[in-house]
Chains A and B, each alone.
Chain A
């Protein structure tokens, strides 16, 4: 109670917390569907591809978050197109885009003339870099992604249970798969400044895994994953401020602590 007001005296921490709380709500909400559908590898790939978007933004002098989002969306559509053609194994398609995105990012950075230092902030997150423009981008993209997920919740859930049954019932599975991947791209784009693209996959996955330990229903797992996600972001940001640690790493380590505690508690409950 004494620490929090100190933290909030600084503008950059208020901005980081604002962005962090939006990310904390969006990441596990969309991450839940990625986890149950075993799409986690796509989240990682999109994170790497979004680096190419950041590099392109640095070269072109455009805003990083929207540019990274657009590049990720283009990649998502490419991945889904190749998956549907079924001429390549799905895991190799994902690898193709992962390495391709990373390579393109490295090459583009060569044209950025000394602005490479910024890329480290996007790789690992830096709360000092959150600007007022970032808050607006994160609020708009994150808000739309969150509301769209809630709107499509029932359909996404039916598809997650079984694609064939959902399609046989008349649900547009291919469209929903594309939308889910685009929502994943949006989550990654808005999380770059807070946890960094290399760690955002963790915030989409670990709070969900922690909640799954309790074997609740789908809604129960989602609600609990939100709690773990908020705890991880708030605790991680405060700890990184007072202990002068990297924000992204501290948030993800907080999430891992949540997972370990959840595993212990759930294990004891099951043992009773």
Chain B
């Protein structure tokens, strides 16, 4: 799935959070969205997900508005740190993953064998078979993120959006999580993830979309190594970035 954003702007209480920019994400791309805190990363993600309406401009996914039901059903979303899920929320891992099929089922369609197969496929992809009967409250941060990724995959998305997906995870869980994303992208899924970690983009993504209210740059990894402006923006060490890029 591809994304085209035209002259996108978003203002809140008269303040421009995102100001007039256009970009395109191609089918099968793996894009990291980066920028300083308050620079509009999460707002851009909310616009792409259809959770907020642009003040000006349009977003199209595969040529259709993002609010189109057919588009929404082909999108998966993994929120930051488990979204708003209460630590004591009384649900098992299996129940949470099955909820990923809800939008496809609508009100009256029963949970079929095909739905069960999609759920099991997502569970197997994440390797979380042993967690299924455990309550969400008994999971570590890394396990919770895997469960939420499995829930997103249960709807068999063609495009995946993630908001700070490894925030709060230990290095091992972080590497495992990124390896899963890499595998999904290798299988053809378009992935867009928001992060404040410039190294994550250097190591993981195929291209970067860098913004500070306006689009600073968008393209292959080299874009943020060559721009002084971006260097100041992300406060990262240029040589270290180049090392990541070279490797």
Contact = CB atoms under 8 A, between A and B. Distances in A.
Interface stretch (B30-38, B70-78, B120-128, B208-216): B70-78
B39 interface: no
Nearest to A36: B89
Given A164-B49, A165-B77, A170-B69, A157 B90 contact: no
Contact of B51 (A151, A155, A164, A219): A164
Contacts of B75: 168-169
Interface residues of A, number: 29
Most chain A beta-carbon contacts within 10 A, residue among B75, B84, B103: B103
A154 B135 contact: no
B99 A157 contact: yes
B183 interface: no
A168 B90 contact: no
B236 interface: no
Contacts of A167: 49-51
Contacts of A219: 95
Nearest to A160: B89
A272 interface: no
B107 A155 contact: yes
Given A157-B102, A161-B96, A161-B99, A218 B79 contact: no
A20 to B, nearest CB: 25
A266 B161 CA distance: 39
Interface string A144-179: 000000011011011011111111111100000000
Contact of B49 (A36, A158, A168, A212): A168
Contact of B90 (A152, A155, A165, A215): A215
B102 A217 contact: no
B102 A162 contact: no
B95 A217 contact: yes
A162 B163 CA distance: 14
A51 B160 CA distance: 48
B90 A38 contact: no
B95 A164 contact: no
B204 to A, nearest CB: 22
A229 interface: no
A223 B89 CA distance: 16
Nearest to A37: B86
Interface string A221-246: 10000000000000000000000000
B92 interface: yes
Main secondary structure of the interface of A (DSSP, over half): helix
A161 B154 CA distance: 15
Contacts of A211: 90
Nearest to B155: A169
B73 A169 contact: yes
A108 to B, nearest CB: 38
Contact of B85 (A162, A170, A217, A221): A162
B138 interface: yes
Given A158-B102, A164-B51, A36 B83 contact: no
B88 interface: yes
A216 interface: yes
A257 to B, nearest CB: 21
A157 B91 CA distance: 10
B77 A164 contact: yes
Contacts of B79: 162, 164-165
B102 A154 contact: yes
B105 interface: yes
A194 to B, nearest CB: 26
Contacts of B84: 162-164
A33 B95 CA distance: 15
A216 B90 contact: yes
A205 B173 CA distance: 37
Contacts of B103: 158, 166, 169-171
Contact of A168 (B77, B95, B105): B77
Contacts of B135: 215-217
Given A168-B49, A169-B102, 17 more contacts: A155-B107, A157-B91, A157-B102, A161-B85, A161-B91, A161-B99, A162-B84, A164-B49, A164-B84, A165-B79, A165-B151, A165-B152, A166-B102, A169-B100, A170-B73, A216-B135, A217-B133
12 contacts: A36-B86, A155-B102, A158-B102, A163-B84, A167-B49, A169-B102, A170-B73, A217-B92, A217-B133, A218-B91, A218-B95, A220-B90
Closest CB pairs A-B (n = 4): A162-B83, A170-B72, A169-B103, A217-B92
Interface of A: 36, 38, 151-152, 154-155, 157-158, 160-171, 211-212, 215-221
